[in-house]
A = this chain, B = another copy of it.
């Protein structure tokens, strides 16, 4: 069999996947709608920084650029919450030494394209907008975004890594019995720039993900290597109060920030300009099934499972697609009918789970992190994890610091909710839990019940 593939999309997932295919000896042609970011500079469609965690690192390691990216990634060891009075509270993400990493989307994408460009049999075709795929023939059609010229390309394998608005998926949608769902949040987001101090250093703690949780809305900020932070305001589009609809004038924006995020105002000198200039973007969850057409066409990344950003797992889950496929290539050699069958069968339950977890984490970030009971639960989780490392790994750690399938983590999360319903119901728990033997008793009872069920 000719080892030849087309990858539609040279975003994070597409360019990483092209590298992994090239490493296994495939001739790869990658078609990307945007101009070459190595020349044009990066013009992303989405937020400018990302939180890389364990699943993402694994795929970068496979691609051979883990160390290089690690050098410019900024570890964030936990959440740093800012209350209305500017008071801070910290909640670690994992154990000592564990962190998620703030990474520049543009920088990472360019690095992936550079590494891919080193493979002789891998070729990029930029400024080529995909018009669709002729599934049966295995032909993809493109239009040059500058000249309007139309070209077609053929391969026995076509990968759609062309994101949430995938043109390849649009072709699959014409198949009978194609399942599809796009669900938007009532919330939009707007990016805001928090510049570096004059000496180039970070104005606030750079080793944390900053959150201003306000119940029904929130702002967050992630560190960049140049000393700046990228802030993102998440707010309902519409509504009589605290909505983008209500923030039309400079005065309204200023009053809203003074009331809700006073300590951020000195950090965002260009607030009013940013607010006027930057778009208010929407947030969607996209699911579909099947992800494939026979053994010819396969969707990966956002093209088949776009999720909301609140668990920091969008890129990580897309990269995990690549790792899993790479391992299936290892196991089944180039038996693509088998590889695609297994992937289409096994993977969607996990991406559905992370889609659900991401929606659920929005409530956690904007609301629960400001709740002392929630922070208490996190402390007790850390305690149980330390004392019973074999038996208890908090949900957040399963998702972020492990390769446990997302669907298994989600199921475990529900079980852990039941455990903490009981632990947090112990009288006086907030005062004395470190010395209260009941915590361990409830935990061991929960363990016994689970073993009984298993």
Interface residues, chain A, with chain B CB atoms under 8 Å away:
176-184, 237, 282, 284
CB distance B176 to A282 under 8 Å? Answer: yes
Q: Please, which residue of chain B has its CB at the minimum distance from the CB of A180?
A: B182
Question: Pick the contact of A180 from B177, B180, B282 — CB < 8 Å?
Answer: B180
Tell me the bound Cα distance from A177 to B285 in angstroms: 11
Q: A176-B282, A282-B176 are in contact. Are A183 and B184 (CB under 8 A)?
A: no
Residues of B within 8 Å of A179, CB to CB, are 182-184
Residues of B within 8 Å of A182, CB to CB, are 178-181
Residues of B within 8 Å of A237, CB to CB, are 177
Q: How far is the CB of A297 from chain B (nearest CB, A)?
A: 19
CB distance B184 to A181 under 8 Å? Answer: no
Residues of B within 8 Å of A177, CB to CB, are 184, 237, 282, 284
Question: Pick the contact of A181 from B176, B181, B282, B284 — CB < 8 Å?
Answer: B181
Q: Please, which residue of chain B has its CB at the minimum distance from the CB of A283?
A: B177
Residues of B within 8 Å of A284, CB to CB, are 177
Tell me the bound Cα distance from A9 to B282 in angstroms: 33
Q: Would you list 16 pairs from A and B whose C-beta atoms are within 8 A, ordered by A residue?
A: A176-B282, A177-B184, A177-B237, A177-B282, A177-B284, A178-B182, A178-B184, A179-B182, A179-B183, A179-B184, A180-B180, A180-B181, A180-B182, A181-B181, A181-B182, A181-B183
Residues of B within 8 Å of A178, CB to CB, are 182, 184
Residues of B within 8 Å of A184, CB to CB, are 177-179
Q: A176-B282, A180-B180 are in contact. List 9 more A-B contacts (CB 8 A).
A: A177-B184, A177-B237, A177-B282, A177-B284, A178-B182, A179-B183, A180-B181, A180-B182, A181-B182
